[in-house]
Amino acid sequence: MPPQLAAKAGASRHYTPDMTGKQYTMIDKTLATDKTTAPYGAWASPITADQIVDGSVGLGQIVVDGDTVYWAESRPSEKGRVTIMRREANGDVAEILPGDFGVRSRVHEYGGGAYTVSDGAVYFVRDKDQRVWRLQPGETPHALTGKGTARYADLMVDGARGRVIAVREDHREGLAEPENDLVAIDFSGGITVLARGDDFYASPCLSPDGAQLAWLSWSHPNMPWDGTSLWLADLDGTGAPAPDPTNARVIAGGGDESIFQPSWAPDNVLYFVSDKSGWWNLYAHADDLAAGAARAVCPMEADFGRPQWAFGMSAYAHLETGGIVASFSQNGARSMGLVDPIRGEIQILGTPYCEFDGITAMGAAVVFISASQTDAARLVILADGGVDSVVVRHSLDFAIDPGDLSCAEAVMFPTAGPTAGGGGNQAHGFYYPPANRNFTGEGPPPLIVKSHGGPTGQTSDAFSLKIQYWTSRGFAVLDVNYRGSTGYGRAYRRMLDGAWGVADVEDCVHGARWLVDQGRADGERLIITGGSAGGYTTLSALTFHDTFKAGASHYGIGDLTALAKDTHKFESRYLDRLVGPWPEAEALYRAR
């Protein structure tokens, strides 16, 4: 049994070596007295592009089966192949898939929720064919679903009924767009439809007693962070929804309320995250629907939810002791706390981390992917109120001297431009000054402004090699959470409605100018960069403003009309809210 997680204050932290036996000791940063003065941008950096590619792995979805921890691991050295790793209770770690198998779902194109584990058996979506496969201990994988045009995601096992519940997306020819539904796949390969009729489905979860099934659905033009419905259905003896058509019912959400991560507590109480208060807060479903349907667990001006770009996301987990470990964002900074769902209280867990992903309970302990301002992502088992932790896996296999690391400073700055609902004269970001243990510069440094993708998304102050690569060479970086970003409440998120390509651009421009006025950036050496939606912001800033001297758009969007006409189903109506309905607002699309 893992040690119990209970909030403790004032205790020292103990960190054990990772599975490789390496000791990752933090070196105290001291003031250098022999730094060389050199032009910004010309500093010799210990961080190379080859290190970033060859010396790192990606850590993904966590699943706990008893006292065994599983996680998805993507490997750039294997052309991005994603495999499944396992850590047993004795600390032994092994890859469990054959080398010719990769795990990845293509539902919504972004996938997620591509595997699950029950009683040692692993159920996964193979990247190569998008079929659901089963791997039992001591055997080779075999396919549960047949060849065809279907894709699967958000797998969960209904062991008592011998089946896997999943989201299915059918791409057969002749459809105007792919069809999505919720299905059950029995262990012999038979498929039963559990829910259909909406455009999208996600997050199926079975109550511990197996009597009820909850899930999310939504339809065009909404994205899941705009409005979703939380469904609850009683199951009959076969596991299908009971025949009464009133049985499957919406218990929360709707067209203008976003629901995230429904999850059952061990006592069969259904919890979920809703933004109906203006913030993604945690709620518990009440048995008496007439009395209001849901109870706010610990109301806060904080976001416990995240934009559901992928399946299988987890921002909180139920401990066997009755508490809930949850991550949340306040003013863009993430924390993790232990929630008492009865008293409605939350106690912050004292960890060195500022990013928390994939939070999963393991008895009275919790497993998650973390990062700090000075440490890259790692898989952690945390117990004893944050006092004791085991680092299971590091995403980097090389260390960087603390003297070469730049730590983020949260900044808020004045901005301008139209936003939905008016107001919105402040924007947010993280400023990173140049840092190198061997070099210093004179005067204000050149500045790189970064614009995150999405655009519904969020950057954090967690360690990023993509930022440290530049700061260690003598560049300052402003990582912008422009209006429309998550982590600052629904009102801030909605400020990009109808204003994409304007408000986000103004925020990047005004952030750069503000730092120049503060003496923290050289106004003659301003650069902007971004990828995907951030690439569009970059191109717009370079087109419509003369603030930046150079820019780089990585796999960026360059033509909104082309995007509106030809994109995948999940995002096919995304721009209706960000720009305007297509083709009615065609003139606006072309102007931007």
- Enumerate residues 6+ apart whose C-beta is below 8 A from 48: none
Q: What is the DSSP string of 313-373?
A: --SEEE-TTS-EEEEEEETTEEEEEEEETTTTEEEE---S-SEEEEEEEETTEEEEEEE-S
- Spacing of C-alpha 159 from chain mean position: 28
In angstroms, the CA 269 to CA 205 distance is 12
In angstroms, the CA 318 to CA 410 distance is 31
Q: CA-based Rg of the chain, rounded to a whole angstrom?
A: 24
Asked if 300 and 279 count as a contact pair (C-beta separation under 8 A), the reply is: yes
In angstroms, the CA 429 to CA 477 distance is 10
Structure tokens given for 159: 């062991």
Structure tokens given for 231: 């469904």
Q: Respond yes or no on whether the N-terminal peptide bond of residue 221 is cis (omega within 30° of 0).
A: yes
H or E element in which residue 303 lies: none
Structure tokens given for 524: 């003659």
Q: Within 13 A of 384's CA, how many CA atoms are on the CB side?
A: 11
- Enumerate residues 6+ apart whose C-beta is below 8 A from 36: 438, 439, 440
The model carries a pTM of 0.92
Instruction: Report the pLDDT value the prediction gives residue 52, as an integer from 0 to 100.
Output: 78
Structure tokens given for 138: 């001591």
In angstroms, the CA 386 to CA 337 distance is 10
In angstroms, the CA 421 to CA 530 distance is 27
Strand order in the sheet with 115-118: 115-118, 121-125, 132-135, 142-143
Instruction: Report the pLDDT value the prediction gives residue 385, as an integer from 0 to 100.
Output: 57
Burial, 151: exposed, middle or buried (Cβ in 10 Å; 0-12, 13-18, 19+)? buried
H or E element in which residue 203 lies: strand 200-206
Instruction: Report the pLDDT value the prediction gives residue 573, as an integer from 0 to 100.
Output: 97
Identify the structural domains of the chain with CATH numbers, from first to last.
1-20+314-398 (no CATH), 402-558 (3.40.50.1820)
In angstroms, the CA 34 to CA 217 distance is 61
Q: pLDDT tens-digit profile of 265-291?
A: 999 999 999 999 999 999 999 766 544
- Enumerate residues 6+ apart whose C-beta is below 8 A from 421: 491, 494, 495
Instruction: Report the pLDDT value the prediction gives residue 50, as an integer from 0 to 100.
Output: 84
H or E element in which residue 158 lies: strand 150-158
Question: Which sign does the torsion angle of CA 551, 555, 559, 561 carry?
Answer: negative
DSSP state of 503: H
Positions of the chain with pLDDT under 70: 1-33, 244-245, 287-292, 384-387, 418-424
Structure tokens given for 459: 């950057």
- Enumerate residues 6+ apart whose C-beta is below 8 A from 292: 286
User: Pick from 117, 124, 23: which is nearest to 82 by CA?
Assistant: 124
Structure tokens given for 79: 């052309």
Asked if 229 and 259 count as a contact pair (C-beta separation under 8 A), the reply is: yes
The amino acid present at 544, given as its one-letter code, is F
In angstroms, the CA 194 to CA 207 distance is 16
Structure tokens given for 66: 């008893």
Asked if 250 and 270 count as a contact pair (C-beta separation under 8 A), the reply is: no
In angstroms, the CA 74 to CA 57 distance is 6
Instruction: Report the pLDDT value the prediction gives residue 77, as an integer from 0 to 100.
Output: 86
3 state SS of 340: strand
